[in-house]
Amino acid sequence: MNNPPILQNITDTLEENYMPYAMSVIISRAIPEIDGFKPSHRKLLYTMYKMGLLSGNRTKSANVVGQTMKLNPHGDMAIYETMVRLTRGNGALLQPLVDSKGNFGKQYSRDMAYAAARYTEVKLDAFCREVFGDIDKDTVDFVDNYDGTLKEPTLLPVSLPTILLNANQGIAVGMASNICSFNLKELCEATIALIKHPMADITETLKAPDFPTGGMLLYDEAAMREIYKTGRGTFRLRSKYKFDKKENLIEIYEIPYTTTSEAIIDKLIELIKENKIREISDIRDETDLNGLKITLDIKRGADPEKLMTKLFKMTPLEDSFGCNFNVLIGGAPQVLGVYGILKAWIDFRINCVKRKLTFDISKKRDKLHLLLGLREILLDIDKAIKIVRETEEDEMVVPNLMKGFNIDELQAEFVAEIKLRNLNKQYILKRTAECDELAEEIKRLEEILGSEKEIKKLIIDSLKEIIKKYGAERRTEIIESGEIAEYKEETFIDNYNLKYFLTKDNYFKKISLVSLRSAGEQKLKENDEIVLEAESSNASDILFFTDKQSVYKSKLYDIPDCKASAWGEYLPNLLGMDDDEKVVYAVATEKYEGEMIFAFENGKTARVPLMAYATKSNRKKLTNAYGSQSPLVSALFVPQAADIVLFADSGKILVVNTDIVPLKTTRSTQGVQTMRLKKGSKLSRAVLGEQSGLSDFDSYRAKALPAGGHYPKGDDDPQISLF
């Protein structure tokens, strides 16, 4: 017999199962804390510190990975991947934390694989002295590891704001963090400014982020101040390049931190295949041991500056960095600006220094206490020797010394351990004088501990020393966003006059007038014929109206030039049309002036301004391009008021000036009844007056709508001349 299902409230399930998981990911995995590290970073670095890798020789990465699993049980590959990003060899950090030997891949490469842990070697970078300084002096709290066999720090007592020194990204549950990196020297100077004056404007010293991959940062002061204030915002990064005039090539040698060389090359190849970039003849990835290099061979006559402006717009050669400064403060996630993070770090560092001072004072007091006991005995050393000599049992030496000199057990134990060789005048005077020095040192430390001003002075002095040791110039150049040339599509277009042709079988030709002069007969597919021919310029938009009430929009310069001896471009492939869709008309325009006239089988015509097809976005397809109540028989473009001729299958002809057809702004309008048709009759076609073959328009002209039309008169031949 089956047991009935156990029903459980979904809110209880979420609270009991999902919420603990979400909190674990947020607090213990994805979001960095005020020391700048996630738990995985901290466990790895602390393991290396305990292995003695802050000094001495490197060790195999596999050794470090194995030792780290005592603190981090998430698997060797996860630990090794964490280590790779921290290494000097990978180049992901502005200030590397791990000195490395071997192949650790590269931050700027998506496909460059790092070597296995058994081949590479690591040790802590010398900079880590600023990360672990005074960790053994109770500066931070320690907790048990996952199985309770070891202790590990909850934070590292970093002596500078590493939270902003290196870029850090994390995706948690329901939240994420993305922190950019800042130049060490500028960061320390900004921190010093804030310590001295809490309301200081740090943008004077910490102007903008800095990245290990260099490049250029397009500086927008308002956007940067917003990031500094709120921790959210976006700025743009741009690649650096140089032009070799002799070889006619461009070398890209620094790229945005947020992209890779492979992503850039893939996008360039895609644009070249789509014929959107014609100035590049070859692309090569020439990255080697000297660093990144992407080489672009450009065609003769191409302007390298204009080309790069175009590439910055269309490829990841220019990319954006979205800031989300989400950090854990006291175990709670908070989105803070640069100001907020630095102030939180200053509070954290003040607490670390206070704990260090308290530890030092305690140790010095303990030592002074022992030396004071020693001083009491050294004042009458003969008495001490007599007590020791006359004591019969070993365990009574300490109690007898305590009783004889009125000292406590710790002091007596310390005295009892003194070697006989140290009972000389020099030793006695030296240790006695040390008591006074210790007392003075304790007094000085207590004064510092009791003065926040003095504590801040210690932090400032430490930061200044760090600047001297590790300060370096910016790698990412800052340029004002207003100083750069923005991409304007029209400036890159090779504009020339041309003629375009549309054929019955959906082929399209675009031929420059210069080429057309020397061209022979137009070659067409068997049984195909030209149904439309018009002149325009290469900078124009072109609209293709289809038999499914759609219009496809394209740029004429995006369509390859054609020769008279070729069939042309097959429009279904070029525009992405449906298999059974057919183009019925095409019109090229620059300013969307003029009107479209649509004639339907039921005798109605619609007059729609061409501006109705202009869109602010670059939409490639518009639906409901014209009415669908009756089948379309003809579409015509008229730049201004013109006569059009309607032909019914009954043989009747009607001439209508477009001015008397009401103008409708809705594309899908059904139009107005223009030609009055007999029962069973329908409109067969509509043409422009000059293409109609009629000699006397007025005898067929409609004076009011609808009109019935007239049969052909005299010598009029209603055959249509397309051109």
Hey, which residues are catalytic here? 119
Can you tell me the distance from the alpha carbon of 207 to that of 197, in angstroms, rounded to the nearest whole number?
Answer: 17
Q: What is the end-to-end Cα distance of the chain in Å, rounded?
A: 86
Instruction: Give me 475's structure tokens.
Output: 């790698």
User: 418 is written with which tokens?
Assistant: 């003194």
Give the span between the Cα atoms of 540 and 592, in whole angstroms. Answer: 10
Beta bridge partners of 298: 280
Confirm if 370 and 379 have CB atoms less than 8 A apart: no
The 3-state secondary structure of 583-648 reads: EEEEEEECCCCCEEEEEECCCEEEEEEHHHHCCCCCCCEECCCCCCCCCEEEEEEECCCCEEEEEE
**Tokens at residue 711, please?**
């049969």
Q: Report d(CA 149, CA 166) in Å as an integer.
A: 32
Phi, psi of 437 (to 5 degrees): -65, -40
Count CB atoms within 10 A of the CB of residue 266: 14
CA-based angle 424:430:433, to the nearest 5? 135
* Token reading at 454: 């003095």
**Rounded-to-integer distance, Cα 612 and Cα 616, Å:** 11
Q: How far apart are CA 49 and CA 44, in angstroms?
A: 9
- Distance CA(596)–CA(548), nearest Å, equals 17
Q: Within its chain, how far is the Cα of 33 from the centroid?
A: 22
Going by C-alpha positions, the residue among 481, 210, 218, 444 that lies closest to residue 338 is 210
Q: Are 374 and 418 in contact (CB under 8 A)?
A: yes
**403: Cα separation from own chain's centroid:** 75
Q: Which amino acid is at 165?
A: L
**Token pair of 137, please?**
């002096």
Radius of gyration of the CA atoms of the chain, in A: 41
Please name the residues in contact with 610: beta carbons below 8 A apart, sequence gap of 6 or more. 587, 589, 592, 593, 594, 595, 596, 637
Which H or E run includes 484? none
Q: How many CA atoms lie within 13 A of 508 on its CB side?
A: 27
Is the Cβ–Cβ distance between 548 and 626 less than 8 Å? no
For 539, phi then psi, to 5°, come to -85, 0
Phi, psi of 9 (to 5 degrees): -65, 130
Nearest to 388 by CA among 376, 375, 403: 403
Give the burial string for 220-254 (b: 16+ CB within 10 Å, else e).
beebbebbbebbebebbbbbbbebeeeebbbbbbb
d(CA 586, CA 532): 8
Task: Evaluate whether 167 touches 94 at the Cβ level (below 8 Å).
Answer: yes
- Beta strand 232-238 with 643-648 is unpaired
- The phi and psi torsions of 570 (rounded to 5 degrees) equal -80, 115
In this structure, are residues 90 and 213 in contact, taking their beta carbons and an 8 Å threshold? Answer: no
d(CA 702, CA 566): 44
Measuring CA to CA, which residue among 184, 244, 172 is closest to residue 212? 184
